[in-house]
Amino acid sequence: MVEASSKFLLIVVGSVCFMLILYQYVAPGVINFGSPHGYFTEEDDGGDIFPSPDPHYVKKYYFPVRDLERTVEFEIKGEDVIVFLHIQKTGGTTFGRHLVQNVRLEVPCDCRPGQKKCTCYRPNRKETWLFSRFSTGWSCGLHADWTELKNCVPGVLDKKETRMKNERKFYYITLLRDPVSRYLSEWRHVQRGATWKTSLHMCDGRTPTPEELPACYEGSDWSGCTLQQFMDCPYNLANNRQVRMLADLSLVGCYNMSTVPEQRRSQLLLDSAKKNLRDMAFFGLTEYQRKTQFLFERTFRLRFIRPFMQYNSTRAAGVDLDNTTVCVCVCVCVYVYACVYACVCMCVCVCVCVAIWNMLSVITPGYCAVFHHILAVLGC
């Protein structure tokens, strides 16, 4: 009898607490536990229901409305060019094929069997409107980053089209992926023998010296490396790949680590990556294929013929991390920034933020607090 009474009392107390919490959400401006009556009264606030704001308070918009409402007037018959920044293991190969094979165009890209590149001409003349792996090839180097593309693309197109085009307008696009999954996917790829040896890493007119960018392995490749070995190499570009490839490396002396202190360097790279990401015409998230498709179509007013497919099973998903912490702290920063920014644009705040929290739970708990305020701003 006593046990039944205790359970009943517990249910009643729980119900009351739940109703109080619910009432706070439904009518947060009505109830006031600081008032003797439990409600706001005229006496509580000098008779002013809408008090004047603090003159010292400056309203801060984390994402300016002009950024969220901007439109891209992409003219495929004009001088506009879409430049695809392809970061390794972000689903860029699939997306790149969509661009040359799946866009509904007046003059579709000419993709012939056996050829690695397609010809993507404008409807009114033989000039390309797309700079990507499957249209122009790796013209600026294998997986060229933002720094390389910015300094290389105009010159490459000038040579291909045999005449100067100072009036060209470039629209940069990219894909981002959950940094833990991307990191593990790159490790698996390297473990199978991938090297990306032909990447140039061009910056300020030169490639890095062996002292600036030492190899993580001896021999032709790093086949069979363990996750711990992959993480232990301080020169492994996978550790901070998404941020590095989005940032302007000239700001930190390129690959010369002695020019800027490490902590300052990391902050400069992160700030630069965030700025460049915001300035891009479009970026998508690998984990949200259909929403990425929708956002691209709305941004460029181009339509895909077939819908994107979401593949939830990846090689990275099968990796058991145990208690190992993957060295991707800065990449998490930029990915969270991208997710929050994109979720505003695509109106999918709840599901994106849930995904972010699931992602952060894999990394050390200390990182979660760093981004709590960012997510709370949007009510995630």
Our separate counts of H helices and E strands in the chain read: 12, 8
- Helix/strand/coil percentages in the chain, nearest 5: 45, 10, 45
Q: Hey, what are 101's tokens?
A: 């094979």
Residue 60 has pLDDT above 50, yes or no: yes
Name the residues annotated as catalytic. 143
Residue-wise pLDDT tens digits, 326-336:
444 455 556 66
Q: Is the pTM of this model over 0.85?
A: no
Residue-wise pLDDT tens digits, 25-42:
444 444 444 444 443 343
Which residues, 6+ apart, have CB-to-CB distance to 8 below 8 Å? none
β-strand pairing of 282-285 with 169-176: parallel
Residue-wise pLDDT tens digits, 106-161:
999 999 999 999 999 999 999 999 999 999 999 999 999 999 999 999 999 999 88
- CA distances in angstroms from 338 to 98, 282, 357, listed in the order given: 22, 11, 14
Place of tokens 């009643």: 12
Residue 369 has pLDDT above 50, yes or no: no
